Amino acid sequence: MDSSVGSIDALILCGGRGIRLGHMTKNVPKPMLEVGGKPFLELLIEKLIEKGLKRFLLCAGYKGFVVKEYFSAFHRRGVEITVLIEETPLDTFGALINASPFVRSDPFFVFNGDSFCETDLGKMVELFNSDDVVGLLCVTQNAVEGGKEKGSYGAVVLDGDFRIVRFDEKGSAGESGLINAGIYLFSRKVFQFLKSVPSSLEKDLLPRLAADGSLRAFKTDGVLIDIGTPERIETARRVLRNG
Protein backbone atom coordinates (compact mmCIF):
# COMPACT_ATOMS: atom_id res chain seq x y z
CA MET A 1 0.00 0.00 0.00
CA ASP A 2 1.28 3.48 -0.92
CA SER A 3 0.22 6.10 1.65
CA SER A 4 1.05 8.94 -0.77
CA VAL A 5 -2.06 8.21 -2.83
CA GLY A 6 -4.51 7.83 0.06
CA SER A 7 -5.88 11.36 -0.17
CA ILE A 8 -6.31 11.32 -3.96
CA ASP A 9 -9.71 10.69 -5.55
CA ALA A 10 -10.10 7.91 -8.11
CA LEU A 11 -12.66 8.38 -10.88
CA ILE A 12 -13.55 5.18 -12.72
CA LEU A 13 -15.19 5.34 -16.15
CA CYS A 14 -17.78 2.57 -16.14
CA GLY A 15 -20.58 3.93 -18.32
CA GLY A 16 -19.91 2.10 -21.57
CA ARG A 17 -22.22 -0.52 -23.01
CA GLY A 18 -19.52 -2.46 -24.83
CA ILE A 19 -21.10 -2.82 -28.26
CA ARG A 20 -18.40 -5.24 -29.43
CA LEU A 21 -19.49 -7.63 -26.68
CA GLY A 22 -22.95 -8.05 -28.20
CA HIS A 23 -25.48 -9.96 -26.08
CA MET A 24 -23.03 -10.22 -23.17
CA THR A 25 -23.91 -6.66 -22.10
CA LYS A 26 -27.65 -6.87 -22.69
CA ASN A 27 -28.39 -6.66 -18.96
CA VAL A 28 -25.20 -5.23 -17.45
CA PRO A 29 -22.63 -2.59 -18.42
CA LYS A 30 -19.29 -3.88 -19.67
CA PRO A 31 -17.29 -3.31 -16.43
CA MET A 32 -19.81 -5.44 -14.50
CA LEU A 33 -19.14 -8.58 -16.54
CA GLU A 34 -17.92 -11.50 -14.45
CA VAL A 35 -14.21 -12.22 -14.45
CA GLY A 36 -12.72 -14.51 -11.84
CA GLY A 37 -16.03 -14.98 -10.04
CA LYS A 38 -16.71 -11.25 -9.53
CA PRO A 39 -17.61 -8.23 -11.66
CA PHE A 40 -14.43 -6.94 -13.29
CA LEU A 41 -15.13 -3.50 -11.78
CA GLU A 42 -15.06 -4.96 -8.26
CA LEU A 43 -11.73 -6.67 -8.93
CA LEU A 44 -10.34 -3.36 -10.18
CA ILE A 45 -11.54 -1.45 -7.11
CA GLU A 46 -10.14 -4.09 -4.75
CA LYS A 47 -6.77 -3.84 -6.47
CA LEU A 48 -6.79 -0.05 -6.18
CA ILE A 49 -7.69 -0.26 -2.49
CA GLU A 50 -4.64 -2.48 -2.02
CA LYS A 51 -2.61 0.32 -3.60
CA GLY A 52 -3.89 2.81 -1.02
CA LEU A 53 -6.79 4.54 -2.76
CA LYS A 54 -9.79 5.20 -0.51
CA ARG A 55 -12.30 7.40 -2.33
CA PHE A 56 -13.93 6.33 -5.58
CA LEU A 57 -16.32 8.11 -7.94
CA LEU A 58 -17.89 5.62 -10.33
CA CYS A 59 -18.99 7.39 -13.52
CA ALA A 60 -21.85 5.16 -14.66
CA GLY A 61 -24.13 5.45 -17.66
CA TYR A 62 -25.58 2.48 -19.49
CA LYS A 63 -27.42 0.26 -16.97
CA GLY A 64 -26.00 2.50 -14.25
CA PHE A 65 -28.54 1.23 -11.75
CA VAL A 66 -26.76 -2.15 -11.84
CA VAL A 67 -23.54 -0.46 -10.68
CA LYS A 68 -25.36 1.57 -8.03
CA GLU A 69 -27.26 -1.38 -6.57
CA TYR A 70 -24.20 -3.63 -6.50
CA PHE A 71 -21.85 -1.17 -4.83
CA SER A 72 -24.42 -0.01 -2.30
CA ALA A 73 -23.61 -3.32 -0.60
CA PHE A 74 -19.82 -2.94 -0.95
CA HIS A 75 -18.29 -1.99 2.40
CA ARG A 76 -14.63 -1.65 3.35
CA ARG A 77 -13.35 0.23 6.38
CA GLY A 78 -12.23 3.73 5.40
CA VAL A 79 -13.34 3.34 1.78
CA GLU A 80 -15.95 5.64 0.20
CA ILE A 81 -17.68 4.79 -3.08
CA THR A 82 -20.07 7.20 -4.83
CA VAL A 83 -21.91 6.17 -7.99
CA LEU A 84 -22.81 8.98 -10.43
CA ILE A 85 -25.30 8.01 -13.12
CA GLU A 86 -25.56 10.04 -16.35
CA GLU A 87 -29.11 10.85 -17.40
CA THR A 88 -27.95 11.06 -21.03
CA PRO A 89 -24.72 9.70 -22.59
CA LEU A 90 -21.89 12.19 -22.01
CA ASP A 91 -18.93 10.20 -23.44
CA THR A 92 -15.72 9.68 -21.52
CA PHE A 93 -14.59 13.26 -20.85
CA GLY A 94 -18.18 14.40 -20.45
CA ALA A 95 -18.40 11.87 -17.61
CA LEU A 96 -15.44 13.57 -15.89
CA ILE A 97 -17.03 16.99 -16.31
CA ASN A 98 -20.21 15.58 -14.78
CA ALA A 99 -18.21 14.27 -11.82
CA SER A 100 -16.13 17.43 -11.33
CA PRO A 101 -18.31 18.95 -8.54
CA PHE A 102 -17.64 15.82 -6.46
CA VAL A 103 -13.85 15.76 -6.94
CA ARG A 104 -12.09 16.86 -3.77
CA SER A 105 -8.43 16.26 -4.57
CA ASP A 106 -6.04 18.00 -6.93
CA PRO A 107 -4.67 16.08 -8.76
CA PHE A 108 -7.04 13.14 -9.19
CA PHE A 109 -6.74 9.71 -10.80
CA VAL A 110 -8.88 8.42 -13.66
CA PHE A 111 -9.13 4.72 -14.54
CA ASN A 112 -10.87 2.92 -17.36
CA GLY A 113 -13.38 0.60 -15.75
CA ASP A 114 -12.81 -2.19 -18.29
CA SER A 115 -9.04 -2.56 -17.99
CA PHE A 116 -6.19 -2.94 -15.54
CA CYS A 117 -2.44 -2.46 -15.79
CA GLU A 118 -0.03 -2.85 -12.89
CA THR A 119 1.81 0.40 -12.17
CA ASP A 120 3.32 2.44 -9.33
CA LEU A 121 0.70 5.07 -8.47
CA GLY A 122 2.95 6.67 -5.86
CA LYS A 123 5.67 7.35 -8.44
CA MET A 124 3.06 8.81 -10.77
CA VAL A 125 2.16 11.31 -8.04
CA GLU A 126 5.82 12.15 -7.42
CA LEU A 127 6.45 12.80 -11.11
CA PHE A 128 3.30 14.83 -11.46
CA ASN A 129 4.16 17.07 -8.52
CA SER A 130 7.61 17.77 -9.96
CA ASP A 131 6.47 18.80 -13.41
CA ASP A 132 4.38 21.48 -15.11
CA VAL A 133 1.88 19.14 -16.70
CA VAL A 134 -1.90 19.09 -16.67
CA GLY A 135 -2.12 15.36 -17.28
CA LEU A 136 0.03 12.27 -16.83
CA LEU A 137 -0.85 9.20 -18.90
CA CYS A 138 0.39 5.73 -18.02
CA VAL A 139 1.78 3.85 -21.04
CA THR A 140 3.05 0.31 -21.53
CA GLN A 141 4.53 -1.88 -24.25
CA ASN A 142 2.76 -4.96 -22.94
CA ALA A 143 -0.82 -6.05 -23.55
CA VAL A 144 -2.67 -9.35 -23.39
CA GLU A 145 -4.02 -9.92 -26.91
CA GLY A 146 -5.43 -12.76 -28.95
CA GLY A 147 -3.99 -13.67 -32.33
CA LYS A 148 -6.49 -11.92 -34.59
CA GLU A 149 -6.42 -8.82 -32.40
CA LYS A 150 -2.66 -8.32 -32.44
CA GLY A 151 -1.83 -4.65 -32.97
CA SER A 152 -5.38 -3.52 -32.24
CA TYR A 153 -4.27 -0.75 -29.86
CA GLY A 154 -3.29 2.74 -30.94
CA ALA A 155 0.27 3.97 -30.35
CA VAL A 156 1.42 6.82 -28.10
CA VAL A 157 4.32 8.85 -29.54
CA LEU A 158 6.70 10.71 -27.18
CA ASP A 159 9.50 13.22 -27.47
CA GLY A 160 12.82 12.95 -25.59
CA ASP A 161 11.33 14.45 -22.42
CA PHE A 162 8.43 11.98 -22.28
CA ARG A 163 6.02 14.63 -23.49
CA ILE A 164 3.27 13.06 -25.58
CA VAL A 165 3.29 14.59 -29.04
CA ARG A 166 0.60 12.56 -30.79
CA PHE A 167 -1.58 9.47 -30.84
CA ASP A 168 -1.47 7.10 -33.82
CA GLU A 169 -4.50 5.14 -34.97
CA LYS A 170 -5.17 1.54 -33.97
CA GLY A 171 -3.05 -0.89 -35.93
CA SER A 172 -0.11 1.54 -36.09
CA ALA A 173 2.74 -0.09 -34.22
CA GLY A 174 4.81 3.08 -34.05
CA GLU A 175 8.52 3.16 -33.26
CA SER A 176 7.98 3.13 -29.51
CA GLY A 177 5.32 0.41 -29.40
CA LEU A 178 3.79 2.26 -26.45
CA ILE A 179 0.05 2.08 -25.83
CA ASN A 180 -2.38 3.86 -23.54
CA ALA A 181 -2.73 1.81 -20.33
CA GLY A 182 -5.99 3.50 -19.31
CA ILE A 183 -4.61 5.18 -16.16
CA TYR A 184 -4.45 8.97 -15.85
CA LEU A 185 -3.49 11.58 -13.27
CA PHE A 186 -5.03 14.99 -13.96
CA SER A 187 -4.86 18.45 -12.45
CA ARG A 188 -8.21 20.16 -11.97
CA LYS A 189 -6.97 22.56 -14.65
CA VAL A 190 -8.03 19.89 -17.13
CA PHE A 191 -11.63 21.07 -16.87
CA GLN A 192 -10.61 24.38 -18.46
CA PHE A 193 -9.63 22.69 -21.72
CA LEU A 194 -13.04 21.34 -22.65
CA LYS A 195 -16.40 22.19 -21.13
CA SER A 196 -18.92 20.93 -23.68
CA VAL A 197 -20.71 17.61 -23.40
CA PRO A 198 -20.75 15.05 -24.77
CA SER A 199 -17.00 15.00 -25.35
CA SER A 200 -14.40 12.25 -25.53
CA LEU A 201 -11.33 11.82 -23.37
CA GLU A 202 -9.47 9.97 -26.13
CA LYS A 203 -10.62 11.94 -29.18
CA ASP A 204 -11.13 15.45 -27.82
CA LEU A 205 -9.14 16.02 -24.62
CA LEU A 206 -5.90 14.02 -24.96
CA PRO A 207 -4.98 15.36 -28.43
CA ARG A 208 -5.71 18.88 -27.16
CA LEU A 209 -3.40 18.44 -24.16
CA ALA A 210 -0.71 16.89 -26.37
CA ALA A 211 -0.86 19.80 -28.80
CA ASP A 212 -0.54 22.20 -25.87
CA GLY A 213 2.49 20.36 -24.45
CA SER A 214 0.59 19.65 -21.22
CA LEU A 215 0.50 15.85 -21.38
CA ARG A 216 3.35 13.63 -20.25
CA ALA A 217 3.80 9.85 -20.22
CA PHE A 218 4.56 7.60 -17.29
CA LYS A 219 5.97 4.29 -18.47
CA THR A 220 5.19 1.01 -16.73
CA ASP A 221 6.29 -2.55 -17.44
CA GLY A 222 2.87 -3.82 -16.36
CA VAL A 223 0.72 -5.87 -18.72
CA LEU A 224 -2.54 -4.28 -19.88
CA ILE A 225 -5.59 -6.53 -19.49
CA ASP A 226 -8.92 -5.34 -20.84
CA ILE A 227 -12.33 -6.85 -21.47
CA GLY A 228 -13.36 -4.88 -24.55
CA THR A 229 -14.11 -7.85 -26.82
CA PRO A 230 -15.33 -11.45 -26.28
CA GLU A 231 -11.84 -12.73 -27.03
CA ARG A 232 -10.20 -10.37 -24.54
CA ILE A 233 -12.63 -11.13 -21.73
CA GLU A 234 -11.98 -14.86 -22.17
CA THR A 235 -8.27 -14.15 -22.12
CA ALA A 236 -8.68 -12.11 -18.90
CA ARG A 237 -10.56 -15.00 -17.30
CA ARG A 238 -7.80 -17.41 -18.34
CA VAL A 239 -5.08 -15.11 -16.97
CA LEU A 240 -6.85 -14.89 -13.61
CA ARG A 241 -7.36 -18.65 -13.44
CA ASN A 242 -3.62 -19.10 -14.03
CA GLY A 243 -2.77 -16.54 -11.35
Q: How many domains does the chain have?
A: 1
> What's the pLDDT band for 172 if we cut at 50, 70, 90?
low
- Give the tens place of pLDDT for each residue, 22-36: 899 999 999 999 998
pLDDT > 70 in the chain, percent = 91
> Of 47, 170, 189, 195, which residue is the catalytic one?
170
> What's the pLDDT band for 127 if we cut at 50, 70, 90?
very high
Q: In terms of residue numbers, what domain contains 47?
A: 3-241
Q: What CATH number has the domain bearing residue 227? A: 3.90.550.10
170 belongs to the catalytic site: yes
Whether residue 83 contacts residue 60, with contact meaning beta carbons closer than 8 Å, is answered with yes
Query: Is the overall model pTM greater than 0.85, yes or no?
Result: yes
